[in-house]
Amino acid sequence: MNPQHSYPDHFFRSVLEGNDAALPLRIEEQLRKLYPGNAILACESLDLEDYVALGLASSEVSESPTPALSYFWGGLDHDALYPSYSQVLWNVNWQEHRMQVLQVSWQTSCGGQTKYWVMAQEPTIAEAFMLDVHRKTNDPGESILVFKDGHWERSKEMFELVHSSRMSELVLPPERRKSMIDDFKRFLASQDQYLALGVSWRRGAILLGPPGNGKTHFLRALVQELEVPCLYVQSLDHNYYRSEQLLQRVFERARELRPCVLIFEDLDALIDHSNRSFFLNQLDGFERNHGLIVIATTNHPENIDTAIMDRPSRFDRKYEFPLPDSSQRARFLEIWKDKLHTQGGLKGDWDGSNISKIAQATEGFSFAYMKELIVSSLLIWIHQESQNSRRCDFGQLLEDQTRVLQEQRSSVG
Ligand SMILES: Nc1ncnc2c1ncn2[C@@H]1O[C@H](COP(=O)(O)OP(=O)(O)OP(=O)(O)O)[C@@H](O)[C@H]1O
Ligand SMILES: [Mg+2]
């Protein structure tokens, strides 16, 4: 296909003018004039950039018609500017074919909308291309799909975080840990039984509890054990699309990947009165949610609607992650003592004899606070070690830091 179709420079402006329901029709009329005899196929989603990033095609932005481009910053983790197009024409090389893909976004009274048109020499080529883009970009592969800024992204970092989270590092009564994991494993293994009973093969759970007591850690380790695709909703904010539209995208993608786990971390911050009934409607779909495990976390269950919290068919189970008691805090310190002896070179500096004393003195600490106790003591120990030739008493440091953190906690709360 000849990529030099002469679009008028004001092409995007002219089709967007009026911005009414006939906009896609106006675009198609123009495209038929520009590509006589070629195939033109439209679709609502096409993750061309992701497909190109996978090395399955190459693409370049056509300078004509002039694209509408804005940049966004990738944040401190991805400290660079990334281009984001709202109107653009791509020249695409795929296998031995040359094609063009037009992407147009516009605002409707119901929110933002984006549509794609693929122009190829033959309908069979356009169809095969579209199908391959959908299939390949839908496969999470060795990554976790993360929903933010209005779209799904593959995250290798999240995948690595999940795969470095150990269930064995969590202090949890063994029978509780086993019953939670077995619940999901049994569910995944029982599709036929659910079908035979005419019961919807779907599962929902909420993990509740005060901050820093293992909800996220447990969830990551669970995802690793379940070995099905994982989709993680980080935010439902966008200045173009309404959160209902975003939720629709979230559930659509999850349904394409079933069986899978769909995670809403901090559900109370994601769902509010504006998207609540849409969310309930999505959770309730019998057929549509076949094979879907939906897991939410919250430390503010009181802010979540009872229609979400208290209807078993939506979130069937509630798992509590409370503050640890003194025996759990002692167990946590034991685990760290072993870790510091084997990995941290602390052997002679802490025999662990004051573990139960520290466990008593840390009443009210979350596991995250217990971890802070270890880390802040370790920082002081490393500093003192580098200053003195004399060995420091790490056990004493822990006791001192316990007092500091207790004071900090009481002055804050
Ligand atoms: N039961 C536990 N045993 C050992 N370590 C734990 C446990 N619970 C939490 N931790 C550690 O405490 C830190 C905080 O845990 P996590 O992020 O899972 O808490 P959370 O419940 O998700 O908190 P939030 O509600 O603030 O999101 C992590 O470093 C985690 O490894
Ligand atoms: Mg968490």
Residue spans per domain, the chain: 11-138, 161-320, 326-412
Kindly report, residue by residue over 251-304, the tens digit of the pLDDT.
999 998 999 999 999 999 999 988 999 999 998 876 689 999 999 999 999 888
Kindly report, residue by residue over 145-157, the tens digit of the pLDDT.
999 888 888 888 8
CA atoms within 13 A on the CB side of 20: 4
Kindly report, residue by residue over 90-133, the tens digit of the pLDDT.
999 999 999 999 999 998 877 788 999 999 999 999 999 999 99
Domain 161-320 of CATH type 3.30.470.10: no
- Residue 303 CB partners (closer than 8 Å, separation 6+): 268
Closest-CA residue to 398 (of 341, 345, 338, 352): 352
Average pLDDT estimate for 11-29: 88
Ligand 1 atom at minimal distance to the Cα of residue 210:
25
Instruction: Count the neighbouring beta carbons within 10 Å of the beta carbon of residue 333.
Output: 23
Ligand 1 pocket member 212 (CB < 6 A): yes
**Ligand that comes closest to the CA of residue 331:** 1
**DSSP-derived 3-state class of residue 44:** coil
Kindly report, residue by residue over 307-332, the tens digit of the pLDDT.
888 887 789 899 999 999 999 999 99
Ligand 1 atom at minimal distance to the Cα of residue 218:
18
pLDDT at 3 exceeding the cut of 70: no
Ligand 1 atom at minimal distance to the Cα of residue 299:
25
Sheet of 151-155: strand order equals 151-155, 144-148, 230-233, 260-264, 292-298, 203-208, 317-320
Please tell me the distance between residue 368's alpha carbon and the centre of ligand 1 in angstroms.
Answer: 6
pLDDT at 413 exceeding the cut of 70: no
Ligand 1 pocket member 214 (CB < 6 A): yes
- Token representation of residue 18: 């009026």
Provide the pLDDT confidence category of residue 1 given band limits of 50, 70 and 90: low
